[in-house]
Amino acid sequence: MSDQQQWVSPETGRWVLLSTILASSMAFIDGTALNVALPQLQADLNATGPQLFWITSGYLLTLASLILVGGSLGDIYGRKRVFGAGITLFALASLACGLSPTVGLLIIARLIQGVGGALMVPGSLAIIGALFGPDTRGKAIGTWSAFSTMTTILGPLLGGYLAGIGLWRGVFLINIPLAVVALAALILKVPENRDESAAQQIDLPGALLAVLGLGGLTVGFNEVSERGLSDPIVLGGFIIGVIGLAAFIWVEAHSDQPMMPLGLFESRTFTGTNLLTLFLYGALYGLSFFLSLNLIQQQGYTALEAGLATLPFALALILLSRWAGGMVDRVGARPLLVIGPIVVGIGFLLMALPGLTKGPSDYWLTFFPGVLIWGIGMGIVVAPLTTAVMGAVSPNRAGVASGINNAVARTAGALAIAIMGAVGVFLFQQQIAARTAQVELSPQTAAEVQQQALKLGNASVPESVPDAQKNAVDDALRQSFVNMFRWIAGIAAALAFISAGLAALFVEPKKATQAALAAND
């Protein structure tokens, strides 16, 4: 069935929505629930900080690198076929994640899960867009969006509940029944569809270079805190990453069918919105990673309480997105894309204020204001950002533009967790050194305490510390982690403010954008 043939019946449409919603829910839940489960996962598998970085960023790495190729494969070989392959691979990798006895196997499974996500994620809305007619497409997308919103809210709560009862593996294993139902609906009821006008060539060189470039940088930043900057693996990772990304840009500029057409970046608005996405979503992913570690491992929250602590963010985002979308029609995207990140940055700065607290009883006067304002800022940003990205190019390139922005957001997450993770370990080490300098420890014991920084929030007092100094060292470790988190929140705020400046500099006013599109048409 091509995009030009008749639309599906209402009955078939319900099966289409069931399959696409359940598949999307796997990706959304996996992304939002895992952060809250990380502390329990770390304790059970005795994972180091760099290994936690890999567990989180590894998935985003392969997803970001291959998501544009996944969309192209669906257009050429059939969206149902590629979407089904993605669901299957994602589910099998989720099973491997849930059963992994070691951190190494879990990291490998997460990398494979990202590949499955790259095949699955682009197909969801593409199938809805292809099979529903103009009269029903908006309602179908609205239904899909409503359930996506629900998973955004439920993800941290589910992750917190499962981790709280010692079942963090359930964050991955819950994907299995969802995948079975999604696949059954897809195979039995959803017709095949493809884009008959799509180019019959896949940009494999571009995809491989994207993996190589992003992978090299991720290796370098993830391993630098444990191995040191002079280590051959770290240096090799950085060199391969830079060369790989440079080669990627060259290939995309000279390819007949690039997965990332560089010509789209001739639009100032398109360039600006993607730079905003890179910095703002990098801040979002980076701070979110450290927030759950701080709340659970240092502030005394249970995993479920940590999940509930982020609920105001999700609610503010959801409640304001519709309003912000309507405001775009009145004032254009630019003012909102400047104001929103500034509000997010203020929220991040508020997150940097609390020190060691008394736990959830102090939540309303410590972390709640920052979480709420952070959510308000993102609620102002999300809808205008999507509108600006797709409105910056001609209508026939809107799908490609949206896919590129999606890939940039995932790339921002992978790199931010790696870079901010390395910075976090360094800052943690410096704080430990400063706070334990006044404690009488032997050089060997002091070095062992410093090594605890590699465990991040799971740092503990080494056995070699004399009993008389254990309380002082434990307090130093906790205070050091909280101060490190404050620095990370400050860095995230700076990235948010930079993204606001980029929007002001690059995103064109409403009238200029309309004139540019009219000229392109």
Averaged pLDDT, 127-132: 88
**138, exposed or middle or buried, with CB in 10 Å at 0-12, 13-18, 19+?**
exposed
Q: Flag whether pLDDT at 145 surpasses 90.
A: no
Nearest to 306 by CA among 406, 493, 140, 158: 158
pLDDT tens per residue, range 467-510: 999 999 999 999 999 999 999 999 999 999 999 999 999 999 87
Beta bridge partners of 2: 194
pLDDT at 179: 96
Q: Is the pTM of this model over 0.85?
A: yes
- Structure confidence at residue 153 (pLDDT): 82
pLDDT digits (tens, 9 = 90+) for 180-211: 999 999 999 999 988 776 666 788 899 999 99
Cα 368 to Cα 373: distance, rounded to the nearest angstrom: 9
Measured distance CA(235)–CA(155) in Å, rounded: 37
Percentage of the chain exceeding pLDDT 90: 74
Contact 245, 414 (CB under 8 A): no
Residue partners of 326: CB distance under 8 A and separation at least 6: none
Overall average pLDDT of the 141-152 stretch: 82
CB-based burial label for 267 (10 Å; 0-12, 13-18, 19+): buried
Q: Long-range CB contacts (< 8 A, 24+ apart) of 234-240?
A: 240/212, 240/213, 240/215, 240/216
Q: Tell me the average pLDDT across 2-29.
A: 83
Average pLDDT estimate for 66-86? 92
**CA angle at residue 398 from 397 to 403, to 5 degrees?**
100
**Residue 422 class from Cβ within 10 Å (0-12 exposed, 13-18 middle, 19+ buried)?**
buried
Q: Report, as an integer, the average pLDDT of 48-55.
A: 95
Cβ proximity of 456 and 424 under 8 Å: yes
Task: State the residue for tokens 């599109």.
Answer: 517
Per-residue pLDDT band for 511 (boundaries 50, 70, 90) equals: low
Mean pLDDT computed over 304-330: 91
Is the pLDDT at 520 greater than 80, yes or no?
no
pLDDT in tens, 434-476: 998 888 888 899 999 999 999 999 999 999 999 999 999 999 9
Choice among 7-16, 42-51, 105-114 with the minimum mean pLDDT: 7-16
Question: Does pLDDT of 164 surpass 70?
Answer: yes
**388 within 8 A of 333, measured Cβ to Cβ:** yes
Question: Chain-wide mean pLDDT for the chain?
Answer: 91
pLDDT confidence bin for 6, thresholds 50/70/90:
low
Q: Give the C-alpha separation, 16 to 19, whole Å.
A: 5
pLDDT at 3: 47
Choice among 78-82, 212-216, 394-398, 443-447 with the minimum mean pLDDT: 394-398
Residue 420 confidence (pLDDT) above 60? yes
> Got the DSSP string for 236-279?
HHHHHHHHHHHHHHHHHHH-SS-SS-GGGGGSHHHHHHHHHHHH
Contacts of 328 (CB under 8 A, 6+ apart): 336, 383, 384, 387, 388
- Of residues 38 and 125, the one with the higher pLDDT is 38
Range 321-331 average pLDDT:
89
Distance CA 137, CA 125 (A): 10
Helix residue ranges, H only, 132-168: 134-164
- The whole-number pLDDT of residue 517 equals 47
Q: Which residue has the higher pLDDT, 74 or 221?
A: 221
> Whole-angstrom Cα distance, residue 105 to residue 99?
9
Residue given tokens 């775009």 in the structure block: 328
What whole-number distance in Å separates Cα of residue 408 and Cα of residue 65? 9
pLDDT for the residue numbered 203? 87
Q: Would you place residue 5 in the very low, low, confident or very high pLDDT band (cuts 50, 70, 90)?
A: low
Rounded CA gap, 470 and 464, in Å?
9
Longest dimension (CA), the chain: 79
User: What's the whole-number mean pLDDT along residues 404-414?
Assistant: 94
